[in-house]
Amino acid sequence: MITKRQFLQSGVVGTLAASVPALANGFANGLVSVPGDVTRVLHDTRFPASLALAGSVFMARNVSPVTGDLTSLWRDTLMGSWQQQAITAGITGDDVLFCLTQFSRDYRLRVHWQTEVSPAQPDRNIPALVAWLIAPASQSTNIMNEVIS
Amino acid sequence: MRYPPGVSQEDFDRAVGEFEAAIGADWVFTDEADVDLYRDAYSPLWGEEEEKIPSIALAPQSAEEVQALMRICNAYRIPVYPVSTGKNLGYGGSAPVLNGSVVLDLKRMNRIIEVSEDNAFALVEPGVSYFDLYNYIQERGLDLWIDCPDPGWGSLIGNALDHGVGYTVNPYRDHFEAHCGMEVVLADGDIVRTGMGALPGAETWQQYRWGFGPWLDGLFAQSNFGVVTKMGFWLYPAPEAFRSGTVQVMGYNDVHELVRVTARLMYSGVLNTNAGVQSPIQFVLGQNPEMAERYDRAGAEDIRVLDEFARSIDTPFWASQFKFYGPREIVDQSWEYVKRQFAHIEGVRFQDQESFNFPMPYEELMQTQDENHLGVPSMSVFQLGNRSNFNPTGSNGHLGFSPVVPMTGDAVIESNKVLGRVLREMGGSTVFNVPPYSYHQRTFTILVGFTVTRDADTNRKTREIFRELVKVAAEHGWGEYRTHTAFMDDCAQAYSFNNHALLRLQQRLKDAIDPNGIISAGRYGIWPKHLREDDDNA
């Protein structure tokens, strides 16, 4: 089972890094670790820094862009991989994470960890940027993939 | 493991064993981390003692398994709360009305049993989402449209049973109206089919809805009389074309003629889809205290000044958007006809909007003003902000107060003033306020949206305002068409003609059909006998 420590030492990053570059440095300097079995990483095209981070840290994995509207990503990519209960990480707006949280329940997945990277900017209509990990709800109930497959 | 109310631990433990034998231990979720997935993400009770949280969840895969589970629940008198896909956010999600109920999660029952292209219908199970049916139709190249609500992740059956709506044409846009035939498991495990489905081997179950004798389908919507395990839906043969246009009128009192003509066009069938009344000038009035005060007072002199003000800034007082679906010649001529019907209003303006021929590539559909209006399910309602396009930051969902009002200009003005006054007096700040819109035929629905937060004090205040709105609206003859589970009692109580005769009848039916009161206790205000505080109504 993936723990939040395996993905990101949130205590370290959460207190030291309020910005995406700092978060990226955290990854780069080994302050945090990314679990090897994360099979897909989402970055949010509305946040250029999100792409930079995904590119520098997750380059070895499948990186998928998402806009505020995740309909296409869901249809074309995510639905299939979640049927296989793929572990997914991301750095996206919290509006995207909310939808993914709801979708993930259908596959007995859940958000195991999340942290805010940058706060929302209400006056500019910009949601908060969050880093997160979605993985099977528990090993013992890692079974809902049969539902759709 | 959590335990449901009114059931001994010993009995419940025994029942869990029987659940596991009936559907397999893998599909009986007792771990709190798993069961917490069924919390209502939009709950206005989040983190409070009253928040509704299930005890365990069960995920059967067939109607036969549902029957087996209901027999066990009935034997042990275990409260059970069926959900289809659990995506009814803003209306309670997958959390029960009665705390500690067992959630019956039907999303594994996701078979699209039949789609007929020639007779334009589908027969589906509760776990089938709008995305699922859309994809099924597209993959097979069927010449059919679905009608979907804003987010496409919900269940056709769940949405229809909650009187959900969409955006294409009658009768498809009112999802309960578009259904034809049900299969329902009752509390004792018996299974019934409604309409022509009661005839073994019926060939018209999804074509003729009335069957023979009393029509019972309405009993299973917004209620707790059974578990719907199959449902038929009429589908819309794909239209050739679409176009939209806007009618704008300049004066305060023009709303009366705008709505009168709109209603006539709807009742005559020229318009067969939703339309609403927006007020482009409202935003400007909000920035101008003097004009806002005049709008609220609306005496003859105030209206004269307001009209002058609107003209001076060249902003219409009211506007309505109209949509047309069908053959190209007909949609074009319909729009021309509609324009002629409004031409007598002084200063009226017409604005052409979108115009499409079908079929269109998916990518192009997703670039239109609103793909949902073209029968394409999506998640784009969440695009512009956190949780909804009206609520970009900082909250944890929303819920809507949505009374039904007459389709008249008087009602447009009166509801705006009355509800606005409550909000001002109680210090309520709404996250969105959708102008009167004909979600259903022959009426407008107002939609006042509130944010839901993780702060209990803020949520308590919201609940207080919401309940006051229910009460004040009812005093004016306006009732909710649908509501969040937290307010179902309040709304049901407002329908109080003849000492709550309707609710008393519903309770009598509940006691007869589900004598142990195990299904969805409290849903839409209907409580079983053993949970009714004041049993005078029994």
Cβ-based contacts of A128 with chain B (< 8 Å):
386, 393
Q: Any idea what the CATH number is for the domain that residue B533 is in?
A: 1.10.45.10
Check whether residue B121 and residue B228 sit in a common domain: yes
Q: Which of B208, B237, B266 is the last residue of a domain?
A: B237
Give all strands (DSSP E) within B377-519, no chain letters.
Answer: 398-401, 403-406, 432-437, 443-451, 479-480
Residues B128 and B227 reside in one and the same domain = yes
Which candidate, B282, B351, B286, places its Cα nearest to that of B315? B282
| B102 sits in which H/E element | strand B102-105
What pLDDT was estimated at residue A66? 86
**Tokens standing for B453?**
């937060």
Q: Phi/psi of residue B368, each to 5°?
A: -75, 175
Indicate whether B324 belongs to any domain: no
Distance CA B481, CA B478 (A): 9
Cα–Cα distance measured from residue A61 to residue A63, given in angstroms and rounded to the nearest whole number:
6
Residue B386 to residue A125, Cβ atoms within 8 A: no
- Residue among B219, B246, B223, B234 nearest B180 (CA): B234
A2 pLDDT above the threshold of 80: no
Minimal Cβ distance to A68: which of B41, B377, B383: B383
**Residue whose structure tokens are 């990053």:** A13
Residue B226 included in any domain: yes
pLDDT for res A26:
44
pLDDT given at position A4: 25
pTM of the model: 0.89
**Thinking of the domain A34-138, which architecture would CATH place it in?**
3-Layer(aba) Sandwich (3.40)
> What is the DSSP secondary structure assignment for residue B92, as one 8-state letter?
T
Same domain, B88 and B69: yes
Q: Are B487 and B502 members of one domain?
A: no
Q: Are strands B318-326 and B241-249 parallel, antiparallel or unpaired?
A: antiparallel
Shared-domain flag, residues B177 and B199: yes
Smallest Cα distance from B386 to chain A, Å: 4
State the nearest Cα–Cα gap between B108 and chain A, in angstroms. Answer: 5
**Gap from B151 CA to chain A (nearest CA, Å):** 10
Distance CA B510, CA B154 (A): 27
- d(CA B449, CA B384) in angstroms, rounded, equals 16
**Judgement on whether residues B219 and B138 belong to the same structural domain of the protein:** yes
Is residue B499 included in any domain, yes or no?
A: yes
Q: Which of A94, A101, A138 sits opposite B33 (nearest CB)?
A: A138
Of residues B33, B87, B387, nearest to A137 (C-beta): B33
CB pairs under 8 A between A and B: 90
Burial, B367: exposed, middle or buried (Cβ in 10 Å; 0-12, 13-18, 19+)? exposed
Residue B436: inside a domain, yes or no? yes
Structure-token pair, residue A147 = 């539902």
With a cut of 80, say whether residue A141 has pLDDT above it: no
State yes or no: cis peptide before B359, omega within 30 of 0: yes
For residue B476, give the CATH number of its domain. 3.40.462.10
Question: What is the C-alpha to C-alpha distance for residues A28 and B262, in angstroms, rounded to an integer?
Answer: 63
- End-to-end CA distance of chain B: give it in Å, rounded: 34
Q: Which of A69, A122, A138 sits opposite B379 (nearest CB)?
A: A69
pLDDT at position B431 is 59
Kindly give the interhelix angle for B300-312 and B289-297, rounded to the nearest 10 degrees. Answer: 140
How confident is the model at residue A24, as a pLDDT?
47
Looking at this protein, which amino acid is placed at residue B427?
G
In this prediction, the answer to ipTM > 0.85 reads: no
B486 plus B500 within the same structural domain: no
- For residues B346 and B348, give the distance between their C-alpha atoms in angstroms, rounded to a whole number: 6
Q: How far apart are CA B439 and CA B428, in angstroms?
A: 25
Query: Which DSSP helix (H) or strand (E) runs through B338?
Result: helix B328-342
Task: Kindly report, residue by residue over B269-302, the tens digit of the pLDDT.
Answer: 999 999 999 999 988 887 888 998 898 889 999 9
Q: What is the pLDDT of residue B390?
A: 45
Contact A127 B392 (CB under 8 A): yes
Residues B116 and B228 in one domain: yes
Tell me which chain B residue has its CA closest to the CA of residue A100.
B379
Kindly write down the DSSP assignment for every residue of chain A, as one continuous string. Answer: ---HHHH--HHHHHHH--SHHHHHHHHHTTSS---TTEEEEEEETT-HHHHHHHHHHSTTSEEEEE-S--HHHIIIIIHHHHHTT-EEEEEEEHHHHHHHHHHHHTTTEEEEEEEEEE--BGGGTBPPEEEEEEEES-GGGTTGGGGT-
R_g (Cα) of chain A, nearest Å: 15
Q: Domain containing B35 — which CATH number?
A: 3.30.43.10
Chain B closest-CA separation from residue A29 CA (Å): 32
Would you put residue A80 in left (φ > 0), alpha (ψ -120 to 50) or beta?
alpha
One domain for residues B191 and B78? no
Range of the domain at B38: 9-105
> Scanning every residue of chain A, which has its alpha carbon at the shortest distance from the alpha carbon of B128?
A148
Domain count, chain B: 4
Helix, strand, or coil here: B497? Answer: helix
C-alpha separations of B360 from B51, B110, B138 in Å: 45, 28, 12
Q: Is residue B271 part of a domain?
A: no
Chain A residues interacting with chain B (CB cutoff of 8 angstroms):
67-72, 74-75, 93-96, 98-99, 101-103, 105-106, 108, 110, 120-122, 125-128, 137-138, 140-141, 143-144, 147-148
Yes or no, beta carbons of B385 and A138 under 8 Å apart: no
Residue that is written with structure tokens 């068409």 in the block:
B481
Query: Which residue among A102, A120, A141 sits closest to B29, beta carbon to beta carbon?
Result: A141
Provide the 10 A C-beta neighbour count for residue B215: 12
Q: How far apart are CA B92 and CA B523, in angstroms?
A: 10
CB contact under 8 A, A98 and B366: no
For A70, the closest of B33, B379, B386 (CB atoms) is B379
On chain A, the residues whose CB falls within 8 A of the CB of B385 are 95, 125, 127
- Residue A93 with chain B: CB contacts under 8 Å: 386
Q: How many residues are there in chain B?
A: 538
pLDDT, tens only, A14-59? 222 334 444 444 444 433 445 557 778 888 888 877 777 666 665 5
CA-based nearest residue in chain A for residue B387: A95
Q: Are residues B501 and B523 in the same domain?
A: yes
Burial of B434 (0-12, 13-18, 19+ CB in 10 A): middle
With respect to residue B516, please indicate whether it lies within any of the assigned structural domains.
yes
Which residue has tokens 């370290």? A12
DSSP output for B164-223: -B-SSBTTTTBTTTTEEEEEEE-TTS-EEE-GGGGSTT-S-TTT----SSS--GGGGSSS
> Is pLDDT above 60 for A139?
no
Task: Out of A98, A121, A140, name the one closest to residue B382 (CB).
Answer: A98
Name the residue facing B378 among A71, A126, A138 (closest C-beta). A71
Q: Which residues from A are below 8 Å from B27, CB to CB? A: 143
Q: Which residue of A105, A139, A146 is the best one to mutate when testing the B interface, meaning the one whose CB has the most B CBs within 10 A?
A: A105
Whether A138 sits inside 8 A of B41 (CB atoms) is: no
Dist. CA A107–CA B41, nearest whole Å: 17
Q: Does residue B181 sit within a domain?
A: yes
What sign does the dihedral B495-B501-B504-B508 (CA atoms) show? Answer: negative
Residue B70 and residue B171 in one domain: no
Chain A CB contacts of B135 below 8 Å: 75
The one-letter amino acid at B226:
G
Which residues, listed in sequence order, are joined to residue A111 by a DSSP beta bridge?
A134
Determine whether the interchain pair B41/A98 forms a contact, defined as Cβ–Cβ distance below 8 Å: yes
Residue after which a domain boundary falls, among B237, B260, B276: B237
Residue ending a domain, among B58, B90, B105, is B105
Tokens (6 digits) for A125: 């209509």
Six-digit token pair at A10? Answer: 């949130």
Kindly identify which residue of chain B lies nearest to residue A44, measuring between CA atoms: B383
The SS3 call for residue B21 is helix
* Mean pLDDT computed over every residue of chain A: 67
- B330 domain-assigned: no
- B interface toward A at CB cutoff 8 Å? 26-27, 29, 31, 33-34, 37, 41, 59, 85-87, 89, 107-108, 110, 127, 131, 135, 152-153, 366, 377-380, 382-387, 392-394
pLDDT of residue B389: 44
Separation CA B468–CA B449 (nearest Å) = 14
DSSP assignment of B347-384 equals T-EEEEEEEEESS--HHHHTTSS-GGGGT--BSGGGTT
Residue ranges of chain B whose pLDDT lies below 70: 382-395, 429-433, 534-538
